[in-house]
Structure 1
Amino acid sequence: MAQKISQATSAYGIDISDRFSGQVENPKHRAKYDPKHVNGIARFPGCPPCGFLPEKSL
């Protein structure tokens, strides 16, 4: 189920800067979320972490 949460709100919820979140979401930057971030992102809206990870590696 999709939830409408802004990038700034989700960044605040997982205790990262909205600037870092913007860099991760921008394909021109090399910044990436680590597993701790993925767990925080999933915990914030109450979703399982596996929903944010690909099923298979490419």
Structure 2
Amino acid sequence: MIQELDRVILTSDIPEYRLEEGDIGTVVLRHQNGKGYEVGFVTLDAESVAIVSLHSIQVRPIGRR
């Protein structure tokens, strides 16, 4: 289960924030026992891109493959 401060991968594009599937973000807040999340996205230079409210199907945990 995804927890606050976990890194996650975006599973779909969000054009209004210029975010693309595969972008990596950090969960800053969980909603309703994991039904949704506030996720922060930053550049490699640590510049903030967006903090977005997402449904659980729009992110997946980062794991070993």
Q: What interval of TM-score do these two structures reach, taking the shorter chain for normalisation? A: under 0.3
Larger Rg: 1
Q: What TM-score, normalized to structure 1?
A: 0.27
More helix by share: 1
Q: With structure 2 as the length reference, what TM-score do the two structures score?
A: 0.26
**Greater RCO, CA 8 A, separation 6+:** 2
